[in-house]
Amino acid sequence: MAAASALIKFKFPFRFLLLRRFSESPAEPVTMETSLPFSAHKCDPPPRSVTTSPSELLSFFRNMTVMRRMELAADSLYKAKLVRGFCHLYDGQEAVAVGMEAAITRRDAIITAYRDHCIYVARGGSPFEVFAELMGRRAGCSKGKGGSMHLYKKDASFYGGHGIVGAHAPLGCGIALGQKYSKEGTVTFMIYGDGAANQGQLYESLNMAALWDLPVVLVCENNHYGMGTAEWRASKNPAYYKRADYVPGLKVDGMDVLAVKQACKFAKEHVLQNGPIVLEMDTYRYHGHSMSDPGSTYRTRDEITGVRQDRDPIERVRKLILSLELASPSELKDIEKEVRKETDEAIAKAKESPMPDPSELFTNVYVQSYGAEAFGPDRKEVKADLP
């Protein structure tokens, strides 16, 4: 491998020649087929051939590496007791976040449950803000008042970040209602898990979304385990893309970032014409459900390592980049080193950032109210504005 890279390095003009065959410039489109076909329910699946570009592939690689590094760092921070409470890690599922982001604009909304660190970063947030929020610092994205499960980014239309399983499903359909009301031509991606797929409110809101043609894409991140229970033990019908019955569905290989991108693009176009659609992303999480779950009591370590070897999303993109010779292995290693350095810097900065001021306990409980002045009992000494 080293010899090959050395060969390529010395034979610079030859390498350039090779590159010329596949891409003239970083934006030159590259076409390939997804590794698995899409399975469709009540709709025509999108074509398997996807178009991308070298720069996009490299950005996929970089973004997924950032996410992976961030989640692993969050793991060690939790074990060092700097992050408390609940911490649900997304490593293994990065392809879903990155692929979805590549298919949509920042005005399309995304809402997800508590496994939200990487979606926040995909929407433009920085790992520093995530670390600060996890450690409860003032500089966190929710001023330290939300925690791991409550990351929000309004300017990027990221609606969080919700702790109760399935409770954000009606919220997502409500966001779509707002989008339909204002006729913006944007859509909402409502991400839930295979565990939440058994919640009644999901089907209630799906019914309403289908009734009123709301522009919502329901994305089931099927990592095959709802907390500690395998999908075949929790769901009578584990084909989640078919569960919506009268609403079309698509099953996607969630470890293939290009397939995810293709499916999300297809879904956005479909939904703006025809109403909701369900996407099932077949994905996997390496960590347990949360940091208190070792993740190995309900599945075997062999299974985890098997998925890591065969289906890891970052490895796939790396192999793709190398086979298309868009970058050399050492360049990719450099990217990884750079990402690691940036993550370490973000952690150091977050560790030093201050805790919230005690007065922050009472802010943001209410918005500025209707201009009411409130008085103490004698109307003289105490006069406060209801916050």
Partner 1 sequence: MAAVLQAAALLMGSQTDIKRFRLRSALRSAPVRNEGFFVVRTNGRLSTTSGVMPRRAKLIPNAVAAKADTTTTASSADSKPGHELLLFEALREGLEEEMERDPRVCVIGEDVGHYGGSYKVTKGLATKFGDLRVLDTPIAENSFTGMGIGASMTGLRPVIEGMNMGFLLLAFNQISNNCGMLHYTSGGQFTIPVVIRGPGGVGRQLGAEHSQRLESYFQSIPGLQMVACSTPCNAKGLMKAAIRSDNPVVLFEHVLLYNLKERIPDEDYVLCLEEAEMVRPGEHVTILTYSRMRYHVMQAAKALINKGYDPEVIDIRSLKPFDLCTIGNSIKKTHRVLIVEECMRTGGIGASLRAAIIDNFWDYLDAPIMCLSSQDVPTPYAGTLEEWTVVQPAQIVAAVEQLCK
* Secondary structure of residue 224 in the 3-state scheme: coil
Q: Does 359 bind partner 1 (CB under 8 A)?
A: yes
- Nearest in space to 117 (alpha carbons), one of 167, 160, 80: 160
Ramachandran category for residue 383: left, alpha or beta (phi over 0 → left; psi -120 to 50 → alpha): beta
The C-alpha atoms of residue 172 and residue 67 are separated, in whole angstroms, by: 24
Among 180-188, 240-248, 266-274, 343-351, which window interacts with partner 1 (CB under 8 A)?
Answer: 180-188
Residues 39-78 that bind partner 1 (CB under 8 A): none
Report the alpha-carbon distance of residue 46 to residue 304 in Å, rounded. 30
Q: Which stretch binds partner 1 (CB under 8 A): 15-23, 219-227, 295-303, 362-370?
A: 362-370
Residue whose token pair is 């961030």: 70
Residues 206-225 that bind partner 1 (CB under 8 A): 207-208, 211-212
136, 170, 193, 226: residue in contact with partner 1 (rule CB under 8 A): 170
Out of 115, 162, 270, 311, the only residue in the binding site for partner 1 (CB under 8 A) is 162
Residue number with CB closer to partner 1 (159 or 284): 159
What are the Cα distances from residue 115, in Å, to 224, 262, 291?
A: 15, 23, 12
Q: Supply the minimum distance, in Å, between the C-beta of residue 119 and partner 1.
A: 15
Given 41, 117, 180, 289, the residue binding partner 1 (CB under 8 A): 180
By the rule CB under 8 A, 246 interacts with partner 1:
no
> Which one-letter amino acid corresponds to residue 28?
E
Residue 193 CA to residue 210 CA, distance in Å, equals 20
Size of the site for partner 1 (CB under 8 A): 73
Q: Is 270 helix (H, G, I), strand (E, B) or coil?
A: helix
Contact at 8 Å (CB) between 175 and 271? no
Q: Which range of residues in 178-186, 244-252, 291-299, 340-348 is near partner 1 by CB under 8 A?
A: 178-186
Question: Does residue 179 bind partner 1 (CB under 8 A)?
Answer: yes
Contact criterion met (CB below 8 Å) for 115 and 90: yes
152 near partner 1, rule: CB under 8 A = yes
275 counts as binding partner 1 under rule CB under 8 A: no
Report in angstroms how near the CB of residue 302 gets to partner 1 at its nearest.
Answer: 39
C-alpha closest to that of 218 among 208, 228, 226, 227: 208
Q: Are 148 and 114 in contact (CB under 8 A)?
A: yes
Compute φ and ψ for 37, nearest 5 degrees. -75, 160
Residues 121-140 that bind partner 1 (CB under 8 A): 140
Given candidates 175, 244, 259, 326, which one binds partner 1 under the rule CB under 8 A? 175
> CB under 8 A: which stretch of 78-86, 201-209, 249-257, 292-300 binds partner 1?
201-209
At how many degrees (to 10) do helices 257-274 and 94-103 cross?
50
Shortest distance, position 85 Cβ to partner 1, whole Å: 13
CB atoms within 10 A of CB 363: 12
Q: Which of residues 366-385 bind partner 1 (CB under 8 A)?
A: 366-385
Q: Which is nearer to partner 1, 247 or 327 (CB)?
A: 247
Closest distance of CB 205 from partner 1, Å: 4
Measured from the CB of residue 73, what is the shortest distance to partner 1 in angstroms? 22
Q: Which of 92, 172, 254, 275 binds partner 1 (CB under 8 A)?
A: 172
Nearer to partner 1 (CB atom), residue 116 or residue 256: 116
- Distance in angstroms (rounded) separating the CA atoms of residues 69 and 56: 20
One-letter identity of residue 307: V
Q: Are 57 and 321 in contact (CB under 8 A)?
A: yes
78 or 159, CB closer to partner 1? Answer: 159
